A and B are shown apart, each in its own frame.
Chain A
Amino acid sequence: MNILLRELRANLKSIIIWSLSMIFLIYVGMVKYSGFEAAGQGINELFDQMPSAIKSIFGISGLDLTSISGFYGIFFLYFMLLGGIHAVMLGAVIIAKEERDKTADFLFVKPVVRARVITAKLTAAFINIVILNIVTLVSSILIVSIYNKGNSISSQILNLMLALFIIQVIFLALGAGIGAFTRNTKKSTSLASTILLSAFMLSVAIDLYKELDFLEFLTPFKYFKTAQVMGSGSFEPIYLLLSLVIITACTAITYLLYKKRDIHI
């Protein structure tokens, strides 16, 4: 419990900043929507003329930008990116920082087994991503309701947040695995961001070249299709299973590797 509280406190400032950025992003985005809505159908025609590469990078392919749910769908890409970066960095740093800050010699000479330390740290990180998810959910519902003149899309937002949450957990587990695997924090954070960006680039590449879609399983950004999640609220079982496998495997690797490794400072 003491380690958990310590980690929550250590990450307090960071989660506040992340939450505020998320709220800011949603607010600014919805302000733009009011402009789009006013412009009407012309906007969709304009975007249709854009090259599909640009559209997929901005996450606007297949969405009706003049409807509030279509517009809100754009956010999902940014939520995934932000949530993914937050989670993968948090996971990598929370594991590796004791050696970076050389506090490992303090912590691990205490009467604790390493598994307990990992559990406390992962729990703290998990609470952090839940907070970010809830902040995104609540601020989305509130801000959207200001601009929404039609039917409520709260249940669609909720579905997206569920998908976002799974992606956050995947990246958290990946980050933790990387943190336990690499020897120093610099390496672990650069490896973590490399993996995240590669996954993102791959998802864009798949949007551009449909022949690549057999690679979808490699990038969590492709596990949940915005239109599908928002439309029917359904997830593809194969990707849910894959998510579960990645999360379980990475968590197991984190425990196993960290238990066996030498602590160097």
Chain B
Amino acid sequence: MNVIEINKLTKYYGKSRGIIDVSFDVKEGEIFGFIGPNGAGKSTTIRTLLSLIYPTSGSAKIFGKDCIKQGEEIRKEIGYLPSEVFYYDNMRVIDLLKYSASFYKNVNKSRIYELAEIMNLDLKKKIDDLSYGNKKKVGIVQGLLHSPKLIILDEPTSGLDPLMQQKFFDLINEENKKGATVLFSSHILSEVQKMCDRVGIIKDGKMVRVDDIHTLQSANYKKFRIEMKEAVTAEYFKLEGVSDLSVDKTTVNFIFSGDINKVIAKIHDKTISNLIVEEPDLEEIFMHYYEKEA
């Protein structure tokens, strides 16, 4: 079953592009990574899902309900953590969390203390006096206190120290095991790689690709490093499927996708002194996508 179904979602801000024809699904119980550089349209997509902004065309459904028409009902089951958190400055943390809880039915108040304990958050302080990282913790607690079925995270880790990041990821993983679906937007690939089952890549407002993270990582791409006995030209390795080709006298680096035998045939005729073939990390694949599409 799909928790999120996005269908040709388009948003223009006046004449400037937000997102164009974005379509993808997020399945129940998965952690879906949503990656792209700043300004690619991640936040626009998420803000449309939350009906903070209205789409120019296209539609989106969450839990099978229309995001705009049934937004209120949908949002009962959503926990959202924005990239930058802002709260009512003169409130105390505990008052803000109670205020947040008052919007939901049947919130177990002990959950607030439980989460605050995990995130090491001082409930008595005023929001105003909190550091950025601590405000972020308030954001995490208020996003999770009603045990939402769908957790939407928009660049959630900025401002958190590594220890807190780890606690946060553990928390999200735990919620996921309990059945929560997670939409995780980020431009930091390593964290997406660690957490997610599938990823969608967005660029310049358009979805470039949606794939299983392992497919993306292993099936198609190999990273080659070949050290030749004699210098070669870049021309020699210009095969279909080769990208990021760099030749420095005798050393050749590239990423290859396709039938690996074609590369082997190429180097069969030459004398080589070393050959390394490895899995590229997601970052390299990602860059590769971006360059290819550019």
Binding site for B on A (CB under 8 A): 2, 6, 10, 101-106, 108-113, 260, 262-265
Contact = CB atoms under 8 A, between A and B. Distances in A.
Contacts of A6: 88, 99
For the residues of A in contact with B, the DSSP-based class is loop
Nearest to A262: B53
A244 to B, nearest CB: 31
Given A102-B84, A103-B88, A105-B86, A113 B71 contact: yes
B86 A102 contact: yes
Interface in B92-106: 99-100, 102-104
B86 A111 contact: no
A108 B103 contact: no
A157 B73 CA distance: 49
Interface string B54-81: 1000000000000000011101101010
A104 B87 contact: no
19 contacts: A2-B102, A6-B99, A10-B88, A102-B84, A103-B87, A103-B88, A105-B80, A106-B100, A108-B52, A109-B50, A109-B75, A111-B73, A111-B75, A112-B72, A113-B71, A262-B53, A262-B54, A263-B53, A265-B86
Nearest to A265: B86
A104 B52 contact: yes
A112 B103 contact: yes
Q: 3 tightest A-B contacts by CB?
A: A102-B86, A262-B53, A110-B103
B109 to A, nearest CB: 15
A187 B122 CA distance: 37
B41 interface: no
A105 B102 contact: no
B74 to A, nearest CB: 8
B86 A109 contact: no
Given A101-B89, A103-B87, A109 B80 contact: yes
A17 B120 CA distance: 38
B285 to A, nearest CB: 32
A104 B87 CA distance: 9
B139 to A, nearest CB: 9
A88 to B, nearest CB: 23
Contact of B72 (A2, A111, A264): A111
Contacts of B99: 2, 6
